[in-house]
Each structure stands twice: as structure tokens, then as C-alpha cells.
Amino acid sequence: MGFPLAGLRVLDMSRVLAGPFAGRMLSDLGADVVKLEPPEGDITRIWGRQVAGVSGYFNQQNAGKRDISVELGGQRGAGLVKRLVGVADILIENFRPDVMGRLGLDYATLAAVNPRLIMLSISGFGADNPDSRRAAYAPIVHAETGLVERQAEISNAFPADLPSSIADTNASLHGLVALLAALYAREQTGRGDHIDLAMVDATMVTNDGMNYALDEIKRPMPNEVHATSGGHLMLAGDFRFIWHQLRKVYGLTDGLDEDADLADKITARRQAAHQFFNETCEDRDAVITALDKMNIAWGDVRKAGDTRDLASVRARGTIAEVDDRAGGVRPIPASPYRYAHGQARIQGGAPHLGEHNVEVLADWLGMTDEEIDTWQDVLVQQLPQTES
């Protein structure tokens, strides 16, 4: 078996992260993903290190795609999009909910062109509600759905954004699930579908702690980082579990009477645990041996760049290399999918703006060079830049 989605055509009109990440995963699975950008390009083309005119951020989210740049402001640009939609299986977009309609590219219009089209629309708050027109990036959704407040509570710090765009990537992955389900349904019905996916919905359903908030009960104690003789380690399980294991396996006590004040007990137990992990366990090997004996999961607190040193990352090839378009290679997170029979991998580096205008129009639409020339008023191409 080859790539599971080989032969599938995807028109990716999205930008930044929520849509492009879903498109990247479809490309890794073998789909022919064509990113359609406006002449000014995706804003992320300037985010991160530039190599041969491609930024690191753009490269990560758009690796393996082909690229066509179309001016969408007039009827001719929209007309060209409709022709591409006519032969596409999937269209991805993450504009605000009314933008595609204003461009003349709403689902009803496109479904009339191609009834088998599956369209994924990702927005911050979904369509047809009072919040629909609000601008929404991941930090806004993090704040609105309680993640920022929860982070501040855990860290006893002033509220700040999360270190990763969880709201975007959650929406991407839920969008990917919805697309694959719609593809399966299309096999039964012959009809496409429109997926209205809100980042706020995806974030809330993926938050395993929402049940505590909705039931209005106190959340369990969080997992914590512990300073040990083996370095800073994240230990799985709240402190009550860790203390239970220390007492059960190693016989630690808090040295207090049963009727002692609870706050005093907690302080004494934390002091005893700290002493155990830093003095009784004299080095890293002793700490890890003790944690494994107590069946407590642990993890080193690493910098993101140091993840290459993780044994599983090295063994699985989690960091891949792609052509950097400048005679070398550059690192990029690899496809996470591992099949027994199928394949999934990055299809190549990210494209330049409009790099495949001619190639895509000839390949998807069978246009001749002469016919492609008639569309030059709405097509844009940006040549590679030198490394900076």
C-alpha cells in the first residue's frame, strides 16, 4: 500500500496555522495539496529564519505543497478559483465566516460547480452567531475558553498566553478528522459537504478538564515539576499520589501526629519528598531508579531545541530534513503517522509564492501555455530570494 490519500486534490486557501497545518498533514498522507495565496502572500512567510526566501514557520506548515498565487479581488480571480474547485476534492479556508461569500466563493456557489466538493471552513467562533465577525487568533481563544486563567492559577503568575498555539492546532486536527469522515461519507452518497469548524468548539471539546468547570467542582491538583539531584523533572500524578508512593515503597513519614494540622502535614511531606529526591537519591540514576520503582512517570524539562536528544525522537526520525532550496537541507518536524503497510512522509520543502502557477493550471485544468497566458493579469509569482 502506498500513500493513503494519493490522487486526492486539495485546494488550500488558508493562511497562518489552523488551515495550513491540516493541509500539511493531508500532503504528508499523499494528497496533492495546492496552496492558493493572494499576491501579498501568507503573513507567515516572514516568520522565522529565511532560507532561499522561505521562512522556517512557513516551511513547517506548508512543506510538500505546490503554490499558486491569484488576485481574488475581481471576478476573473474568483472565476479561476471556481475552475480549480471543479476538479478538487477538498477546499480548506480559514477566513472570517463572511469573506468567502463576499468573494463569490461561498459553499453553495462552489457546490453548484462541484457537488462532490468537501469544504472545510475554520474560524475562531464559527458562522452565524454574534461572535462570528470577531478576529480570532489562538491567544484570543485560549483566553476566552479558560486556558489562560487555568495556566495563571497553576503557576501563581499574572495571566499570560500558552507557549503553543493549541487552539489552532486543535482546530486543524479536528478539521482533519472531519474531512476524512466526509470523504468516507462521500463514498456512500456521492455528495460533498461543508464543515463549519470553530476554534472555540475544538478547544473546549479537547480540554479534558472542562468537566470540572461545567460541574462547578474543584479541579484536582496539577502535575508538578520537582527539583531533584537528577535535574528538573515533571512527575505525573498530583503530590498526594507521589507522597502515597513514597510512603508505601520507601516508608517516608511526615514525622507528625495524626491529629496535626493539615497545612503542617503538607509542608512536612513536601520537605520530606524534597529531601528524598535530593539527598537520599544522590544522583540522577538514583532518582530515576526510585521513580521507576514507584511506577511514577517522569520527564526531563527540556528546551524545545533539545528534543533532538530524546532517544525516541532519534529512533523514530521525528525531526526530518528537507531540501532548503539553497543547496542544503533544513530540519522540520516529520509526519507523525506510522503505518504497518501505508506510507506518510513530508513530500518536500515549502513552495515560493506562485511557484507552480503554470504547472498547476496545466496539471489540474489541462491548460495550454497560450491559455495560461490569458490569466497572467490575476497570477503572481515571486522568485526565490537570497538567504538572509
**Residue 303 C-beta-side C-alpha neighbours within 13 Å:** 2
The beta-carbon contacts of 313-322 under 8 Å, at least 24 apart in sequence, are 320/345, 320/346, 322/59, 322/63, 322/346, 322/348, 322/349
What nine digits make up the cell of 22? 491540516
What nine digits make up the cell of 18? 489552523
- With the CA atoms of 315, 318, 322 and 326 taken in that order, what torsion angle do they form, in degrees rounded to the nearest 10? -90
- The single residue of 12, 89, 168, 193 carrying the catalytic annotation is 168
* Residue 330 φ then ψ, to 5°: -140, 150
168 part of the active site: yes
| Cα-based distances in Å from 51 to 37, 45, 323, 352 | 20, 11, 10, 11
| Cβ contact 79:45 at 8 Å | no
> What is the pairing mode between strands 118-123 and 54-55?
unpaired
- Contacts (Cβ under 8 Å, ≥6 apart) of 81: 11, 13, 36, 70, 72, 105
Q: CB burial class (10 A; 0-12, 13-18, 19+) of residue 64?
A: buried
Q: Which of 36, 14, 33 is nearest to 379 (CA)?
A: 36
Decide: helix, strand or coil at residue 202: helix
How far, in Å, CA of 139 to CA of 18, rounded? Answer: 13
Residues carrying an active site annotation: 168
